[in-house]
Amino acid sequence: MLAGMTLFHALVLLHVVTGAVGLTAFWGPIVTRKGAANHRKWGKTACYGFLGAGGLAIAMALLSLYGPEVRHPEVTDRALFDGLFGWMMLYLGALTMGFVDYGLAVVKHARNRRALRAIRYQAVIAAVVVSGAWCGIYGARVSHPLMVLVAVIGIVAMAIQQRFIWRATDFPRGTHIGEHFRALIGMGISAYTAFLSVGLIRLVPEHVFNPAIWAGPSVIGVSLILYFTLKAKRAPAPRASGVRPHPQQIGDGLVERQ
């Protein structure tokens, strides 16, 4: 039991470190000029931090579900605890990593969208969908609508990604930029939600099942998506002449100079 506790606490510590890096760096790409060196630097730092935090969240969720000791015995509703800190945590970790993977991949394969149909990328999306479906089913069983809601949001997000990947006809140039942006905002939403669930029970355990607190990252993240989407639609379209437009005039400005 001591070894299990030591392992879990070590995972929590690493999760806090990697999560803090990701949560802090996440705002860098939002406030810096899109496509600039600082934008890419902050974006990579946030992605690597969230990848680590997501993987560690999955490990902690599995230990909470199948570890040798009962964690947080002060929580009397053990079925709900398993749901939020086991299956939902596992799903949010997978969702975070899935958003990171897709957000980076659409930029890497901007000129070859069909590369995203490879098993390597499809397996990640499938893992998110499967874990999300079970999160929703379990949430319905324990009558917790939040678990069902986050599951539906994640599965719908994966379906939108698949539409971009599998559509037969080509999208307008620069569409991948919007996909990149939405995926990394989604990364922030899932990471903030998962990170709150780890620290919240230690800081204010009486509010650990408060839906308003858990829904906060989603409200902020979706608001950011709507704001930047509307901003991009209001931006002037690239000129149709033979002059090549400046990278900042293309989509959200994430296209780098060739």
Is residue 255 included in any domain, yes or no?
no
198 — pLDDT class (breaks 50, 70, 90): low
Q: pTM of this prediction? A: 0.77
Sequence-distant (≥ 6) Cβ neighbours of residue 96 within 8 angstroms:
50, 51, 53, 54, 57, 187, 190, 191, 194
Is residue 245 included in any domain, yes or no?
no
Mean pLDDT for 117-130 is: 96
Residue 46's nearest CA partner among 123, 121, 103 is 103
Q: Quick check: 192 pLDDT over 70?
A: yes
pLDDT at 254: 41
The Cα 193–Cα 214 span in angstroms is: 6
Q: Quick check: 31 pLDDT over 70?
A: yes
Is residue 102 included in any domain, yes or no?
yes
Sequence-distant (≥ 6) Cβ neighbours of residue 241 within 8 angstroms:
none
The Cα 65–Cα 7 span in angstroms is: 14
Is residue 252 included in any domain, yes or no?
no
Q: Quick check: 1 pLDDT over 60?
A: no
Range with the poorest average pLDDT among 45-54, 67-76, 134-143, 241-250: 241-250
Q: Quick check: 65 pLDDT over 70?
A: yes
How many folded domains does the chain comprise?
1
Q: Quick check: 248 pLDDT over 50?
A: no
pLDDT at 214: 63
Task: Give the tens place of pLDDT for each residue, 67-101.
Answer: 877 776 667 778 888 888 889 889 988 998 999 99
Question: What percent of the chain stands above pLDDT 70?
Answer: 71
Is residue 248 included in any domain, yes or no?
no
Is residue 241 included in any domain, yes or no?
no
**Domain span including residue 46:** 2-235
Mean pLDDT for 203-225 is: 63
Is residue 11 included in any domain, yes or no?
yes
Is residue 49 included in any domain, yes or no?
yes
2 — pLDDT class (breaks 50, 70, 90): very low
